[in-house]
Structure 1
């Protein structure tokens, strides 16, 4: 069911934002797959078959993004996902990416559950603490070609770690066409480069419940 027309990726290093230069820059990036939306132009009651077909796409894009970031999986501290839906589609088509995209990144980064657990909203089932315990934040919208999407990012193990609240702007030139989906994964290696607004710190994570 899945026809990939294009894969687009972006990686950046942030050294400072008008403050001290970081000894180690924040590296973050995204990868976007441009796909044909088979449900564009008509209402399809049962769209779950496409979600199943997107699982290997999630795995492929997660591994490719990590390769482009050029860091070990252990260096990844933040993640997020999103989707842009062409104008002949509907918002629910972007929701098909929630499980394939989120599970693929969490598994790659060390989550100990499985795809069925993830789809059911269960936590890690094969030992704690693991990595990738936090739910992957997400956003989506129906958009014209060349539209931007601000993809939210949070800490991979605890959603309440305030220093890692971030977003990365995604744009794939000329996409999505009316009958396409753009599915997006994003990762980062740390907190905002000058994070200093308090709250739970990454080194203070204690509950290993995906929240705190």
Structure 2
């Protein structure tokens, strides 16, 4: 199995009080953690890439822990999540797909009883490439108030032989959510959808 080599981590947190409407006393927090890691498969086609997915599991938990700490440390306050990856030009989209399992399961494990699938996006791009990380409610994907996205990117990553792996969490809905649909207080928690 290839060694996991991390070049750097970036943690970002936004506190949103309003978007032109009433000002909240408690802001909605939206955070991301990004890891820039070496892509052991860059520059060549490798048939069996799944072993690297196992190597990424501890990184997923480390990143989720960093992000939760940046958002206050209380798993009960996290209402939304998402994940994504940017693959450097020497890699292929499938290398970003290796993040689905370790990134998603790490957040679900850390948050306890999260029921919803963790939405995801991935792309191939060079240094400075930006990506929208989709966000949905942690327990019910049909909660419209939590449909969101967080745009991220790093000015010097990914280099040709790197991956940028991303996790996102939020402490609430869009700050002025008011388009109806299933309300978070009405979640049944049976199937991760409703």
Q: Which category describes the TM-score, using the shorter chain as reference length?
A: over 0.9
- In structure 1, what is the Cα distance between the partners aligned to 2:130 and 2:24? 28
Among 125, 133, 150, the alignment partner of 1:168 is 150
- In structure 1, what is the Cα distance between the partners aligned to 2:12 and 2:147? 20
Match of 1:148 in 2: 130
Match of 1:36 in 2: 38
Match of 1:45 in 2: 47
What is the number of residues matched between the two proteins?
Answer: 192
List structure 1 segments (4+ residues) > 2 angstroms apart after TM superposition. Answer: none
Matched, 1:198 2:172: no
Give the structure-2-normalised TM-score: 0.97
Within 5 Å, give how 1:105-120 maps onto structure 2.
105-110=107-112
Matched, 1:10 2:12: yes
Match of 1:19 in 2: 21
Match of 2:190 in 1: 208
- In structure 2, what is the Cα distance between the partners aligned to 1:207 and 1:185? 23
Q: Is the 8 A contact 2:115 2:189 kept in 1?
A: no
- In structure 1, what is the Cα distance between the partners aligned to 2:12 and 2:128? 15
Structure 1: 5+ residue runs without aligned partners?
111-130
Match of 1:123 in 2: none
- In structure 1, what is the Cα distance between the partners aligned to 2:188 and 2:97? 31
- In structure 2, what is the Cα distance between the partners aligned to 1:206 and 1:178? 45
Superimposed CA distance per residue, residues 5-45 of structure 1 (whole angstroms, 9 cap, x where no aligned partner):
01011101000001110121100110000000010000000
Matched, 1:139 2:139: no
- In structure 1, what is the Cα distance between the partners aligned to 2:189 and 2:66? 31
Match of 2:61 in 1: 59
Q: Secondary structure at the match of 1:50?
A: helix
Match of 1:186 in 2: 168
Q: What's the offset of the Cα at 1:207?
A: 4.5
Q: Secondary structure at the match of 2:69?
A: helix
Give the structure-1-normalised TM-score: 0.89
Superimposed CA distance per residue, residues 26-75 of structure 1 (whole angstroms, 9 cap, x where no aligned partner):
00110000000010000000000100100000000000111111241100
